[in-house]
Structure 1
Amino acid sequence: MAFHLDLLLGVVLMASPLLGISPCSSDGQRAFYRFCNLTQVPQVLNTTETLLLSFNYIQAVTATSFPFLGQLKLLELGTQFTSFTIDKEAFRNLPNLRILDLGKSQIGFLHPDAFQGLPHLFELRLFSCGLSDAVLKDGYFRNLHSLSRLDLAYNQIRSLSLHPSFSELNSLKSIDFLLNEIAVVCEHELKPLQGKTLSLLRLASNHLYSRVSVDWGKCMNPFRNMVLETLDVSLNGWTADITRNFCNAINGSQISSLVLAHHILGPGFGFQNMKEPDRDTFAGLARSSVIRLDLSHGFIFSLNFRLFEALKELKLLNVAHNKINEIKDEAFYGLDNLQVLNLSYNLLGELYNSNFYGLPKVEYIDLQKNHIGIIQEHTFKFLGKLNTLDLRDNALQTIDFIPSISYIYLGGNKLVSLPNIALTANFIQLSENRLESLDNLYFLLQVPHLKILILNQNRFSSCNPSHAPSKSLSLEKLFLGENMLQLAWESGSCWDVFKGLSRLQVLYLNNNYLNFLPPGVFSYLTALRGLSLNSNRLTSLSPNDLPPNLEILDVSRNQLLSPDPNVFASLSFVDITHNKFICECELSAFIRWLNQTNVTIFGSHADIYCMYPDSLSGTSLYSLSVEGCDEEEVLKSLKFSLFILFTVTLTLFLTTVLIVAKFRGFCFNCYKTTQRLVFRDQTKGRPYDTYKYDAYLCFNSKDFEWVQNALLKPLDAQYSDQNRLNLCFEERDFVPGENHLTNIHSAVWSSRKIVCLVSRHFLRDGWCLEAFSYAQSRSLADLNSALIMVVVGSLSQYQLMKHESIRGFVQKQQYLRWPEDLQDVDWFLHKLSQHILKKGKEKTDNDVQLQTIATIS
């Protein structure tokens, strides 16, 4: 994506000088005549510097086609929609022409003297013109002493027998023969280029040496006495044998960068039909001073023993997009100067301590997009110069092998937690992993010298409140988008996670489900300049919520209803698009600010719109008038009086409610005491019942101690004479030695109610789940609510729904949760006792509704 953006920017910059010119016109310096249906060259002013004539129907260019244009530097004649003829000295009236573009024009006739009279021509584009070998043999480029770039790609050239005049082209640096039909290149053909230094010689996609048998004894070295900065022979279908023969033939030729991409070296994965490259394959390059070698996009499966030992000066090795699954011992032996190693997009699964021996100067290793799951501890730690390690998109579950280096890329792996290891880095990327606990964030914020930390698309949602605040004096950018910080912060913990980040400048918290900001969470960020809260659930913001020196704020795609304009007054840039503004008079101050502010508002006016009322839905805030809202000032005194009256009444009411809510346990005990005193003579005895037990308590044995203290002691008659219930539970009432299912069955059918205490241990206990199923069967058989389910602990609805039998119950019936607040326990036990003693067929609309109470931790 970045490449496309750069390319688009380049096109815009190139085209920008022409944007102000009408089509098929000229402004004296620039003439723009593309797609103008021209059949001949138009007359332009002699001051023209750029003339664009592509996409027309010009059939011929002769010596008289152009007036004398002494200042013309660029002429574009490519892509004519008809066959094209270029006559003798066709461009002689353009003596200062620097760039001539004839590309993608079907040249029917090209005179051998067509380019004469161009002493300053720097670049000649003849790609895709249907040219044959004659353009090289017959001296078409004579006297072009300034020619530096010659593009002959996409033609029909079959032989590189160069005309002797090429030896006179002393400025020539780049020749492109991409996608021609050149089968063989030998020494005598390129003799006119001997003694020259070329920045680029491209012979890619020609089936060079791959479809004919070559007698290298006669062909000899095609690049003898030449210095090539880049030689591109990719996409020629070279095997290991062809590559070896070619390297041996060019022995001694100076080539800085050799491109052998898109080859067929190696058998690939699961095949043995092609030979792997070995230590002899590149041996012929020993004296060529190769600095960069590109072997990407091939079928190499194994990097064999001392494969590159001849390349002593190599600094960059690219073997990406192969099928490499194995790195043999000493595979990189001899690469004493290698600095960059690209092994991305291969099939590596494990890395061992010995894999990278022989790389004393390597600084950058790219291993992204493999299948690496295991890396031995010392694999990278002996690489003293290593600066950057890219392990994105693998299957790693630990990072204990990471050395202290500057740049670490670990995104797209399977990391659940981070070990407490000594780590030093300037840049760490850990996005798209499975980190849940903020313990990992606290750990990373302690890493010395860290400046940029990327943690997007993880699962941060839990917090251990015992952490000391972080003290990173170097962190400048922190990316925490697409996590679940709301779940961590709503527990009231980890509100100090940003404390100590005194140099943080940019913070991303987008897509974190935030519906509030903890008080003072940003107050420590005195250097923060940019904050993204995009795509959360914030309904309001106050000035105290934001860092003191913030300049850029993104709160787009939230649920802001009537924001306070004072929140944004001190900013330089703000994005408030796609919120849910309520367009009533309460928003009038914000609308006034929006139309008068000097703060730069990102986004178009149409993206800042009303959500309510329905009559204004989708209407831009910029188009709203606030006239009429000032009438409310007349009612202020009346509103104030009503407000005072309402406030006093509400305060009395809330005080009463607060007292009852705060001391509800004490109030309930008082109520029970009063009831016993008033109705002590009217206390009814237990009715006769055919059931052996009032209730069967089904729970996991690991929860026994809690059950005994919480339920048995206050309810069971055998624990206290004051208790009313006769309870059954496994540890006391099951018959020893008898089949466990029989015991469960007996307990279920001999009890009025079955109380299942569903905890984490219960969900892992098969016997408990079996008892739950029996209890459901009993309820269905008796057509009553014999089963009472009590959820104990912090079990989510999702965890309950994972079990089929429990899922059916939860979807159709209510269940209880053990109260979190201790003062609610007596009330809960009272209601539970009533429910146990209540007969199923007597169920009425006045039955106690079992309310869900907050879970215990």
Structure 2
Amino acid sequence: MGDHLDLLLGVVLMASPVWGVSPCSCDGRMAVYLSCNLTQVPPVPNTTERLLLSFNYIRTVTTSSFPFLEQLKLLELGAQHTPLTIGKEAFRNLPDLRILDLGRSQIDFLHPDAFQGLPRLSELRLFSCGLSDVVLKDGYFRNLKSLTRLDLSINQIRSLYFHPSFQELNSLKSIDFFLNQIHTLCGSELRPLRGKTLALGLAANGLYGTTAADWGRCTNPFRDVVLDSLDVSENGWTVDTTGNFSKAISGSRISSLSLSHHVMGSGFGFHNIRDPDQSTFAGLARSSLTRLDLSHGFIFSLNPRLFETLKDLKFLNLAHNKINKIADEAFYGLDNLQVLNLSYNLLGELYNSNFYGLTNVAYVDLQKNHIGIIQDQTFTLLKKLNTLDLRDNALQTLSLVPGVSTIFLGGNKLMTLPRTSLESSFIQLSANRLENMDELYFLLQIPHLQILILNQNRLSSCTRSPTPSKNLSLEKLLLGENMLQLAWETGLCWDVFKGLFHLRILHLNNNYLNFLPPGVFSDLTALRGLNLNSNRLTVLYSDDLPANLEILDVSRNQLLVPDPDLFVSLSALDITHNKFICQCELSPLIRWLNETSVTIFGSPEDMSCSYPDSLSGVSLYSVSTEGCDEEEVLKSLQFSLFIFFTVTLTLFLVAVLVVTKFRGFCFTCYKTAQRLVFGDHRREAQPDPYKYDAYLCFSSKDLEWVQSALLKHLDIQYSDQNGFNLCFEDRDFVPGENHLANIQDAVWSSRKVVCLVSRHFLRDGWCLEAFSYAQGRCLSHLSAALIVVVVGSLSQYQLMKHQCVRGFVQKRQYLRWPEDPQDVGWFLHKLSQQILKKERAKKKDDGVQLQTVGTVS
């Protein structure tokens, strides 16, 4: 993920000119005139702080070349395409100048007073200007009291005779004479530098090489000079030259000495040049040397007590030699050494005695050797060792050192790891041959491990799922370029990331993954960056990604139609080089790409269609979604219909519940509304052969109930609003006449006979007699003139006990008086309809039918 961020930053910087200013222009503080074919200094505002004039054709610089620029701090005049002439006090109008760069400009003439009038100049760059010894001898740098760094590299200086004015340069800290022609350095040449502390560069001068020095006469050139660093590399020094030089400068204080690119040592297979020995660096015993660079040479063997006199040495660089042998006590005396670099050598084995004496060493670099075996106690005595680099060797087995907190083991041949207790916080095991997932489970159990790198292994085998242990310290886990798909497709090891609650970065790129196990990231609550690059994923689900993820790389997969809702919470995303199907299903992603504020890595051309063929290779940013609006409308319509039917169904159910609960009230409202709309249409008087509309047959003991429940609502004599002329015994039977005659007359003179069957009815003989007469009329006229209403909680069995009633209830339907008072209105309405209904006479063989009224319970 870091590579993406670096690439993004690089693109931003490349897209912008130097510091945001266009070439050949000035913004008031920065003036950039690079390669603008100028022959003289252009006019710039007096507020300019940086003036860049390199790669032009300016030939002459004098006092009048510059206006008074009191705020200018940086001036670049280097790399002019024509020779440059610098006159007297050429830069006087730049009183606040701090850095003057004339490098890579051929200076034909430099006036001795060219740099006068620059009291604040701290850095002067005169590299590759064709300058000779004169620039040092004739006081060109006098009065530069603020000068800190002087670069005179790649010139033609042959001797170091400094002008006495250098004694006054109290701020001077660094002088570089790299790649000049200084062959000797003796005696009092550096006298003006005495009392100063500085860094001196004398590399690649052929120093003491082409001309043999008279070491007896050539006294210490660095007498009374304290050197922060001395670079005498690339001078072709042998063991003898190095030994003589170290003796010649004996007593001089040097903090850092570079002797890299030397010719010391016999090399591999040669014996004509000696390896350095105990006497080579003996002259540096009193130099308080802390850093020694002996890299890029031919040392084959580290001889006993080679560095014995360098008691203060903290950093020793022996990289890029031919070291194949480390003698016993080779590092004897290096009690203060902290960093030892033995990389890029020819070591094949390490023995217990190799590092004897390095009691304070903290970092040992052994990468790029040929180490195939290490004795168990090799690093045991290195009590303060915290970083061990064994990358790119030939190790097949290893006995790890528990005390090492940072260990690099990449590029070896390790197939298994020893099950020893480890305390490392950083382990790098990339490019090995680890195959079994047990190795990963073991490493994840290291208690204080923070970073684990296992890229380019063969992790693919999972025969069982060991119990994962919670690792509350691991923050970065790199598992790219393995074969986790083979392990996960067995259904095992899906819990490998369980308990990693503090993991922030996880790389799973190049693992052939075509699916992510369900819940595999469920414990990764702190994960911020996930790399799934170069797998075979075709789809991502909402529960696949951790909730707090910020950076996701799913490039070079086979995603067809990704859901943009998965990416809205990210801050950066890479989905380039996938196989997008550019149909309407992809339109949400296309719209999201054009509107999102999420940083999208890669160029638009890297996000292109794979299907259909007509759009193959077309960038997603160029695909139109207009044709998909119909589907969106259809989806909206479907959603609207869903809402409509849902609301309708809900209202229907609510209406059913309301009607069921308040059906009596609802029926009353219905009847009231009917009268208001259609009016009160009473039944028109028509010729009727019947005297009464209905004969109510009931027990005299039920009279009070019948009056309140029926007569008051139906009989016209009780209310003008009622519409029926009813007949019942207590009012309409002729007193004194035979009772059976009254019953018979009532039955035959009424259109319908309504029997109100109650418990009292079934005990009343006259009621049962009237019931029989009514049945007889029905049979005689083949009509449904008898209406039976069962009142009270009479069961079917109780009705069947009476023979006359039994025959009716077995063949005909009857009504039941409602138990719920709110159903009475509806029941009276239905009863009224039955009374008014005219029955057609039917043939006897057709049977008798009565309209079904139903029962109300």
Whether the 8 Å CA contact 2:400–2:420 is kept in 1: the answer is no
Aligned residue in 2 for 1:468: 467
Counterparts of 1:575 and 1:10, CA distance in 2: 17
Taking a change above 3 Å as real, the CA distance of residues 471 and 464 of structure 1, as seen in their structure-2 partners, is: farther
Q: How does 1:660-671 map to 2 (within 5 A)?
A: none
CA offsets per residue over residues 68-124 of structure 1, 9 Å max, x none? 222222222212222222222222222222211111111112222222222222111
Q: What SS class does the counterpart of residue 547 from structure 2 fall into?
A: coil
Per-residue deviation, 1:453: 0.4
Percent identity between matched residues is 75
Larger Rg computed on CA atoms: 2
Aligned residue in 1 for 2:445: 446
Aligned residue in 2 for 1:411: 410
Counterparts of 2:175 and 2:552, CA distance in 1: 51
Taking a change above 3 Å as real, the CA distance of residues 15 and 90 of structure 1, as seen in their structure-2 partners, is: farther
Q: How does 1:688-837 map to 2 (within 5 A)?
A: none
CA offsets per residue over residues 184-225 of structure 1, 9 Å max, x none? 111211011111111x10000001112222222322111011
| Counterpart code for 1:361 | N
Per-residue deviation, 1:408: 0.6
Aligned residue in 2 for 1:140: 140
Per-residue deviation, 1:16: 6.8
Taking a change above 3 Å as real, the CA distance of residues 39 and 11 of structure 1, as seen in their structure-2 partners, is: farther
Taking a change above 3 Å as real, the CA distance of residues 59 and 550 of structure 1, as seen in their structure-2 partners, is: closer
Aligned residue in 1 for 2:421: 422
Q: What SS class does the counterpart of residue 588 from structure 1 fall into?
A: helix
Q: How does 1:113-152 map to 2 (within 5 A)?
A: 113-152=113-152
**Residues 510-519 or 59-68, more deviating:** 59-68
Counterparts of 1:253 and 1:40, CA distance in 2: 48
Q: What SS class does the counterpart of residue 440 from structure 1 fall into?
A: helix
Q: How does 1:321-720 map to 2 (within 5 A)?
A: 321-629=320-628, 631-632=630-631
Per-residue deviation, 1:43: 2.9
Taking a change above 3 Å as real, the CA distance of residues 600 and 167 of structure 1, as seen in their structure-2 partners, is: closer
Whether the 8 Å CA contact 1:233–1:260 is kept in 2: the answer is yes
Whether the 8 Å CA contact 2:257–2:293 is kept in 1: the answer is yes
Counterparts of 1:365 and 1:529, CA distance in 2: 33
Aligned residue in 2 for 1:38: 38
Per-residue deviation, 1:320: 0.3
Say whether residues 1:112 and 2:112 are aligned partners: yes
Counterparts of 2:7 and 2:602, CA distance in 1: 24
Aligned residue in 2 for 1:746: none
Taking a change above 3 Å as real, the CA distance of residues 8 and 219 of structure 1, as seen in their structure-2 partners, is: farther
| Counterpart code for 2:618 | T
Counterparts of 1:619 and 1:38, CA distance in 2: 46
Aligned residue in 1 for 2:648: none
Q: How does 1:311-330 map to 2 (within 5 A)?
A: 311-330=310-329
Taking a change above 3 Å as real, the CA distance of residues 573 and 27 of structure 1, as seen in their structure-2 partners, is: closer
Say whether residues 1:247 and 2:250 are aligned partners: no
TM-score by length of 1: 0.71
Per-residue deviation, 1:175: 0.4
Counterparts of 2:7 and 2:123, CA distance in 1: 21
Say whether residues 1:195 and 2:221 are aligned partners: no
Aligned residue in 1 for 2:210: 211
**Residues 306-315 or 541-550, more deviating:** 541-550
Counterparts of 1:173 and 1:570, CA distance in 2: 52
Aligned residue in 2 for 1:158: 158
Taking a change above 3 Å as real, the CA distance of residues 585 and 39 of structure 1, as seen in their structure-2 partners, is: closer
Taking a change above 3 Å as real, the CA distance of residues 629 and 85 of structure 1, as seen in their structure-2 partners, is: closer
Taking a change above 3 Å as real, the CA distance of residues 323 and 467 of structure 1, as seen in their structure-2 partners, is: same
Q: What SS class does the counterpart of residue 244 from structure 2 fall into?
A: helix
Whether the 8 Å CA contact 1:509–1:534 is kept in 2: the answer is yes
Aligned residue in 1 for 2:219: 220
Counterparts of 2:406 and 2:259, CA distance in 1: 29
Aligned residue in 1 for 2:235: 236
CA offsets per residue over residues 613-646 of structure 1, 9 Å max, x none? 1111122233333344354589889999xxxxxx
Per-residue deviation, 1:256: 0.5
TM-score by length of 2: 0.71
CA offsets per residue over residues 688-740 of structure 1, 9 Å max, x none? xxxxxxxxxxxxxxxxxxxxxxxxxxxxxxxxxxxxxxxxxxxxxxxxxxxxx
CA offsets per residue over residues 639-668 of structure 1, 9 Å max, x none? 99xxxxxxxxxxxxxxxxxxxxxxxxxxxx
Taking a change above 3 Å as real, the CA distance of residues 237 and 9 of structure 1, as seen in their structure-2 partners, is: farther
CA offsets per residue over residues 305-331 of structure 1, 9 Å max, x none? 000010101000000000000000000
Per-residue deviation, 1:6: 9.2
Aligned residue in 2 for 1:754: none
Whether the 8 Å CA contact 2:465–2:492 is kept in 1: the answer is no
Aligned residue in 2 for 1:823: none
Per-residue deviation, 1:574: 2.5
Aligned residue in 2 for 1:796: none
Aligned residue in 2 for 1:829: none
Q: Which runs of 5+ in 1 are unaligned?
A: 641-857
Taking a change above 3 Å as real, the CA distance of residues 195 and 15 of structure 1, as seen in their structure-2 partners, is: farther
Aligned length: 637
Q: What SS class does the counterpart of residue 441 from structure 1 fall into?
A: helix
**Residues 419-428 or 382-391, more deviating:** 419-428
Q: What SS class does the counterpart of residue 70 from structure 1 fall into?
A: coil
Counterparts of 2:510 and 2:129, CA distance in 1: 53
Q: What SS class does the counterpart of residue 403 from structure 2 fall into?
A: coil
Counterparts of 2:318 and 2:212, CA distance in 1: 28
Per-residue deviation, 1:567: 2.8
Whether the 8 Å CA contact 1:381–1:403 is kept in 2: the answer is no
Taking a change above 3 Å as real, the CA distance of residues 14 and 360 of structure 1, as seen in their structure-2 partners, is: farther
Counterparts of 1:87 and 1:373, CA distance in 2: 65
Q: RMSD value over aligned CA atoms?
A: 2.6
Taking a change above 3 Å as real, the CA distance of residues 633 and 392 of structure 1, as seen in their structure-2 partners, is: closer
Counterparts of 2:592 and 2:472, CA distance in 1: 37
| Counterpart code for 2:164 | P
Aligned residue in 1 for 2:810: none
Counterparts of 2:390 and 2:92, CA distance in 1: 58
| Counterpart code for 1:321 | H
Aligned residue in 2 for 1:293: 292
Taking a change above 3 Å as real, the CA distance of residues 174 and 562 of structure 1, as seen in their structure-2 partners, is: same
Whether the 8 Å CA contact 2:305–2:330 is kept in 1: the answer is yes
Per-residue deviation, 1:602: 2.9
Taking a change above 3 Å as real, the CA distance of residues 583 and 33 of structure 1, as seen in their structure-2 partners, is: closer
Q: Which runs of 5+ in 2 are unaligned?
A: 640-857
Aligned residue in 1 for 2:674: none
Counterparts of 1:511 and 1:299, CA distance in 2: 41
Counterparts of 1:326 and 1:389, CA distance in 2: 19
Taking a change above 3 Å as real, the CA distance of residues 350 and 60 of structure 1, as seen in their structure-2 partners, is: same
Counterparts of 1:567 and 1:218, CA distance in 2: 80
Aligned residue in 2 for 1:282: 281
CA offsets per residue over residues 444-474 of structure 1, 9 Å max, x none? 1111200100000111111121511232221
Taking a change above 3 Å as real, the CA distance of residues 7 and 617 of structure 1, as seen in their structure-2 partners, is: closer
Counterparts of 1:56 and 1:409, CA distance in 2: 49
Q: What SS class does the counterpart of residue 473 from structure 2 fall into?
A: coil
Counterparts of 2:597 and 2:634, CA distance in 1: 32
Taking a change above 3 Å as real, the CA distance of residues 192 and 8 of structure 1, as seen in their structure-2 partners, is: farther
Per-residue deviation, 1:596: 4.3
Taking a change above 3 Å as real, the CA distance of residues 8 and 93 of structure 1, as seen in their structure-2 partners, is: farther
Whether the 8 Å CA contact 2:121–2:147 is kept in 1: the answer is yes
Per-residue deviation, 1:11: 13
Counterparts of 2:10 and 2:632, CA distance in 1: 57
Counterparts of 2:499 and 2:181, CA distance in 1: 66
Taking a change above 3 Å as real, the CA distance of residues 9 and 301 of structure 1, as seen in their structure-2 partners, is: farther
Q: What SS class does the counterpart of residue 587 from structure 2 fall into?
A: helix
Taking a change above 3 Å as real, the CA distance of residues 7 and 604 of structure 1, as seen in their structure-2 partners, is: closer
